[in-house]
Structure 1
Amino acid sequence: MIQRYKFDERLDKLHQEILIMSSIVEEMLRDSISSLINKDDELARKVIDRDDDVDEKEVMLQELCIKIIATQQPVATDLRTVASAFKILTNLERIADHAVNIAETTLDLMKEEYIKPLIDIPKLSEIALEAVKISIDSYVNQDISKLDAMIEKENQIDSLFRKIYRDLLNYMIEDTANIKQASRFTFVASYLERVGDHGTNIFESVHYIVTGEYRDFKDLEGVKKSK
């Protein structure tokens, strides 16, 4: 009983720390987009500086996972929960990296007048963050009932990314002077599209925790039809 209590206590700490890390990463991504919209170099540098904090937290939580496995020897669902946390932490760290990339784009374009208002890119960032939030909530609750919501977010992300890509490509075709900015904004959109992918990866880990079955969630629609 005491051993189980210690395990539950450490697992709860892991859940809480992943939520904290998720909140930090979410804030970094929001701030990076805000810095890009407002050409806020101070905010962009703040995002870049916070990357070290995320890296340190990732290492700390991975060590906690190892300690739980070594000392508590979990089995079945408990073991899958702790082992899957490694992948979740990696995906969160990579989202932070994308936020840094966007912040660096802000610094690169600080002295330039934008070729177009940034409307769709902030929308894309919000949808991608919503996908990440669904997946993190699913992890904490060990609940995969939000598959339909994840499918909707994935479809929205893919559709909006394609629109942004087409629009920016047209800007480059119309005037070669637009190539630098349009290409950088295309990269930003691709970073956000990858954020959505990381959300899907996290949900994939949750599915494995709950069912004990590994599924490749690259095609969420396909996964749904196979159920």
Structure 2
Amino acid sequence: MTSGALPGGLIALPGVYQPQADTRFLAEALAQEDVGTGTDALEIGTGTGALALHVAGRGARVTAVDVSWPAVATARLNALRRRVPLRVLHGDFAARTAGRRFDLVVANPPYVPAAGLRLPSRGPERAWDAGPDGRGVIDRICAHARFLLRSGGVLLMVHSAMCGPEETVGRLTRAGLAAGITARTSVPWGPVLRSRRAWLERQGLAAEAEEWEELVIIRAQSL
């Protein structure tokens, strides 16, 4: 496995988000970071555990958190199958890591805009639905990032350009972190976006007949 490659052969229990283009994009960004023995890392929203295992495979001590029990079970199973030490916790990332600080925080949060005002409490939609502006989880990560990072620690987060990357950079900067957009890529619309095309167009979040979604990597470092 190269430093930018995700582990293969992972299982996914029903309803668990499987690694896709955004996961691979974040893995490429991780390849640019100095990660190794002695690195304490946190993954927010681990899903199958792909990114957590990727980081652990480079020698880091990794804690992974997810609100979904099926995701927690999946990540634990994948860690056991690969014989990689991985601490996987169930619940809200802020509550489960209270009082702890990390050298690296990785997040591929839900970021797809959805008509519902509340975040879903069950089902596979928890992995992508993020409120009308797509920022239901992103803003919480921005608010807690400075409390999660040690001095010099780095947050890497991927999300869609549809939900305001400049807003993310602004929030992190106002929190006292050195933040910016470090990479961009475009991927074809998937089935979730296609299924709500009319609503996205009415909200002004997508142009008519748009077929490509821009993804960005946000990097923020504690000073």
TM-score bin, normalised by smaller chain: under 0.3
Task: Please give the TM-score of this superposition, normalised by the length of structure 1.
Answer: 0.27
Task: Please give the TM-score of this superposition, normalised by the length of structure 2.
Answer: 0.28
Structure exhibiting the larger radius of gyration computed from Cα positions: 1
Q: Which has the higher contact order (CA 8 A, sep 6+)?
A: 1
Name the structure with the higher helix share: 1
